[in-house]
Amino acid sequence: MNIIYGLKVNYSICLIAMVNHSAVLGSDNDTEKECKLEQRNVDNGPQTQNGPYNWSEPLQGTLLSCYYWGFICSQIPGARLAESLSAKWVLFAAVLVNIAAAALTPLLAQWLFLGLIFTRFLSGLFGGAAVPAMYVLILAWAPLEERYFLSTICFLGTTVGTVWSIMISGAIAENCGWIWVFYGMAAASCLWLILWIILIQDSPNKQTFISPEERELINKSLAGEPKELPTLKAPWSKILRSKAFWAILIAHTCSNWGWYMFLLETPFYYKQIFKFPLDDNGVFSALPFLPMIGFGALIGFMMDRLMLADKLTPTTARKIATSIASLVPALCLVGLLFIGCHSYVAVIIVFLAVMCMGAMFSGFVSNQIDISPNYAVTLVALTNTVATLPAIIVPILAGFLTNHNETTDAWRIIFGTAIIMFLIEFIIYVSMGSAEVEPWN
């Protein structure tokens, strides 16, 4: 998850270095006047402020979003392949394709833009299959009493990948050139392929590197779990009538609107409004995800302990975590509507918002396993498919709104839509969410 997300989000930083902003904007740049007194280091690193390609804002948004065209197509097929064949090899293929696509990016950017679009689509197609495959491994390996915490740790890999990728992408692009971001990350990630083949198995019973005691502990804990998931036929009509399922689906979709706004658009916000140089931009964009890792793990650990002590029900725990992950970011975005050109105030607000979104990993993100262990992977595939739509829409919308209009007013519209989505997430999940096993399970 670390590598797949790392190779996905580096585009947000690299596009800033790849595009010739002077040619795209021309002489009509209202932000130069609007935030002139607050801009820092505008003249630093001119070699990274203007790259070789004259790609417009909408075209940049398309390049960011096309990854998710593939991502949205692979959730259900990826889930079925991981369940029926091998989650190990689905994840291996996902990482391998993303590494290959990263290595080809500099050449395709120079020679064939449509080829660049295609490799991004292919990366998303295989990367999307990694999410349900990871759930298959969690179901096979995590003892029931540790599932909240271990699933949180696994999916925090997405955040770890985001942090290191954005941070080092800015530094490498600023000091060595953007092509070395792709070449360097692809080369370093190849080591994982070797380790994965040697060390990983689909289940404890196939793994020779653990003790008999550990294997027995896991098997005993999972004794009541289904043994032949692929043979079960999902009760589609009952799933689609389930309030608990719709609560997860809506919460996930609305949360992803805000998530992808922070993930994909924060570097552009910092560049367009505050004119941060690439290395600073990378640090400020990645910084919020560092405490998010610890905050998410802490919430998961606390919820497990409180439930074991019978102080919280699973449903209440999920709702508390989801409330934190929606209301705090919404309030922070309200603050961004009014801070104008105060650059470091904006950095602090984004820091707090993204950190608190870490609670979502203990909220709706892992809720499918609660309501239906038998069909959890299928439910994950369904919710992830719909929840990927914001990843397609947000970059295109942001590109359209900021095209020849890189102003705080344009960004207020972008932030305002995210506030609405976070509020919908909170209202729907608190009123409809559940962590009880559904009768159709």
pLDDT in tens, 96-116: 999 999 999 999 988 888 889
Output the pLDDT for position 44.
44
Judged against a pLDDT cut of 90, whether residue 212 lies above it is answered with yes
Quick check: is 254 in a domain?
A: yes
Quick check: is 34 in a domain?
A: no
Judged against a pLDDT cut of 50, whether residue 229 lies above it is answered with no
Q: Which CATH number fits the domain that encloses residue 17?
A: 1.20.1250.20
Output the pLDDT for position 40.
47
Q: Which of 16-25, 118-127, 154-163, 394-403 has the lowest mean pLDDT?
A: 16-25
pLDDT (mean) for 138-167: 83
Residue type, 398: A
Judged against a pLDDT cut of 60, whether residue 227 lies above it is answered with no
Judged against a pLDDT cut of 80, whether residue 26 lies above it is answered with no
Q: How many of the other CB atoms lie within 10 Å of CB of 419?
A: 18
Question: 37: burial class by Cβ within 10 Å (0-12, 13-18, 19+)?
Answer: exposed
pLDDT (mean) for 80-102: 93
pLDDT, one tens digit per residue, over 183-194 is 999 999 999 999
Judged against a pLDDT cut of 60, whether residue 219 lies above it is answered with yes
Judged against a pLDDT cut of 90, whether residue 79 lies above it is answered with no
Quick check: is 36 in a domain?
A: no
Q: Which of 115, 158, 201 is nearest to 9 (CA)?
A: 158
Output the pLDDT for position 317.
93
Dist. CA 174–CA 216, nearest whole Å: 52
Output the pLDDT for position 249.
96
Q: Where do we find the tokens 């932030």?
A: 415
3-state helix, strand, coil split of the chain in percent (to 5) is 80, 0, 20
Output the pLDDT for position 411.
95
Task: Please tell me the pTM assigned to this model.
Answer: 0.78
More confident residue, 253 or 277: 253
Quick check: is 393 in a domain?
A: yes
Quick check: is 28 in a domain?
A: no
Q: Which of 5-9, 74-78, 331-335 has the lowest mean pLDDT?
A: 74-78
Q: How many of the other CB atoms lie within 10 Å of CB of 206?
A: 12
Output the pLDDT for position 110.
85
Judged against a pLDDT cut of 90, whether residue 341 lies above it is answered with no
Quick check: is 226 in a domain?
A: no
**Residue 121 — very low, low, confident or very high, per pLDDT cuts 50/70/90?**
very high
Q: Which two tokens stand for residue 29?
A: 């740049």
Judged against a pLDDT cut of 70, whether residue 392 lies above it is answered with yes
pLDDT, one tens digit per residue, over 169-183 is 888 988 888 999 999
Output the pLDDT for position 166.
87
Quick check: is 438 in a domain?
A: no
- The beta-strand segments (E) located in 227-335 are none
Look up the domain containing 191 and give its range.
2-22+54-218+235-432
Judged against a pLDDT cut of 60, whether residue 164 lies above it is answered with yes
pLDDT (mean) for 395-406: 89
Quick check: is 131 in a domain?
A: yes
Judged against a pLDDT cut of 80, whether residue 370 lies above it is answered with yes
**Residue 214 — very low, low, confident or very high, per pLDDT cuts 50/70/90?**
very high
Residue 22 dihedral angles phi and psi, to the nearest 5°? -65, -40
Specify the number of domains making up the chain.
Answer: 1
* CB contact at 8 A, 276 and 41: yes
Question: For all residues of the chain together, what is the average pLDDT?
Answer: 87
Judged against a pLDDT cut of 70, whether residue 46 lies above it is answered with no
Beta bridge partners of 53: 19
Judged against a pLDDT cut of 90, whether residue 359 lies above it is answered with yes
Dist. CA 334–CA 318, nearest whole Å: 25
Sign of the CA dihedral with 178 first, then 180, 182, and 185 last: negative
- Reported as half-sphere exposure (CB side, CA atoms, 13 A), residue 384 has a value of 33
Q: Which two tokens stand for residue 36?
A: 């002139």
